[in-house]
């Protein structure tokens, strides 16, 4: 599925909104994600911290796990936004990239790292996770 400009803007908008739900009392770094399924449905997620850090879950994995738990298995793109008072460039961590590799076509899945609806960078999963496991 090819992602349109309208879909990119919608994903970024939803990721920015999801960021507002972040539970990040330790890092104070809020992250939001919006995942586009191949059928056009969108699942959002935010980072959820825990003082033990190990149980912390990233926004990207929250969105993926919500979608997979609802039976979705095919994905086209994800938008990621992050920051506390303003949005900064935010990229998926290695664990999130590996979760993406479990479900997504490396050369087709689009990762949109956004500061705003107008300012974003796009990558394929293969670009951000070469030689994936």
Residues recognised as catalytic: 60
For the CA atoms of 108, 124, 92, 64, what is the dihedral angle to 10 degrees? -10
- The C-alpha atoms of residue 12 and residue 16 are separated, in whole angstroms, by 6
Q: Per DSSP, what are the bridge partners of residue 36?
A: 42, 77
Question: What's the token pair of residue 81?
Answer: 């936004």
Q: Please provide the size of the chain in residues.
A: 133
Is-contact 87 33, C-beta < 8 A?
Answer: no
Q: DSSP state, 54?
A: T
């Amino acid at each position: 599925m090819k992602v349109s400009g309208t879909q990119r803007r919608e994903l970024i908008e939803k990721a920015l909104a999801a960021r507002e739900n972040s539970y990040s009392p330790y890092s104070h770094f809020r992250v939001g994600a919006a995942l586009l399924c191949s059928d056009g449905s969108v699942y959002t997620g935010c980072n959820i911290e825990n003082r033990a850090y190990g149980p912390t879950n990233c926004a990207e994995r929250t969105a993926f796990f919500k979608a997979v738990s609802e039976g979705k298995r095919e994905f086209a793109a994800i938008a990621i936004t992050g920051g506390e008072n303003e949005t900064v460039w935010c990229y998926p961590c290695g664990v999130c990239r590996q979760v993406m590799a479990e479900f997504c076509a490396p050369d087709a899945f689009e990762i949109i790292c956004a500061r705003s609806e107008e300012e974003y960078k796009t990558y394929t999963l293969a670009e951000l996770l070469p030689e994936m496991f």
